[in-house]
Amino acid sequence: MKILAVDTSSRTGSVAVLEDEAVLAEIQVTSTQTHAKRLMPAIDSALRMAGTHVSECDGFAVTTGPGSFTGLRIGISAVKGLAFATAKPVTAVSTLEALAYQFPTVADLICPLLDARKGEVYTALYRCDHYMHWEKVAPDSAVDPRPWLMQIDHPCLFVGNGVDLYRNLIKEIAGRQARFAPPYLNTVRASVAAYIGAKQIKRGQVADVGSLVPHYIRKSDAETKIEKRKVG
């Protein structure tokens, strides 16, 4: 099975082509240039590097959040366009799950942390109960990191760009129970999303392309402003 995967959930964008369990190509770029400008060229480049064409892909995977509101919309729109053009299935992948999936041999809890701004993080808790099989221990949420960290009472591996912001707080609260992923694993990789997506497609867990939308967790600033105007 050949999968094209896209992640645009943060300033770092990633595109990968996976065939069965082999990564044929992967491009990951952190840039101030918008995803709208660099995503399609990255997809074209990844397909060329993999020696394949979009029509030869068996399906597509895209990270649907949580993450950057604008970035997620761009990635999802691009994948929906490819899916409509090729009539191939699409699967939605959680950014938090993609981060956790990088650690199949870690026995501790795994806590992905993404910067949600406004003093909050997007997070969840996972445990790999045996090799390559993860259990979600706590659901996706947008929270104040301090009370969230205080309720974690087991050794825990922290991963994601939120770690860069809250490392000192994590050390203060979790102490010796805190483990940290190496910095190069703190971003979502499209190759991991492709692997998850392939598993989901094989299980029949495909998205309805027409209704596929980002998983924001919390409302955007624009939505909040509109609601306030209605109340006023």
Mind listing the pLDDT tens digit for each residue in 178-209?
999 999 999 999 999 999 999 999 999 999 99
Residues 6+ apart with CB under 8 A from 97: 112, 124, 126, 134, 136, 196
Any domain includes 193: yes
Q: Residues 130-187: pLDDT tens digits?
A: 777 889 999 999 999 999 999 999 999 999 999 999 999 999 999 999 999 999 999 9
Question: Do 14 and 84 fall within a single domain?
Answer: yes
pLDDT in tens, 88-109: 999 999 999 999 999 998 989 9
pLDDT confidence of residue 219: 60
Report the number of distinct structural domains present in the chain: 2
pLDDT digits (tens, 9 = 90+) for 73-93: 999 999 999 999 999 999 999
Contacts of 136 (CB under 8 A, 6+ apart): 97, 124, 125, 126
Whether residues 88 and 6 share a domain: the answer is: yes
Does a structural domain hold residue 86?
A: yes
Residue type, 42: A
Q: What local confidence, expressed as pLDDT, does residue 232 receive?
A: 52
Whether the predicted model's global pTM rises above the 0.85 cut: yes
Output the domain CATH number for residue 138.
Answer: 3.30.420.40
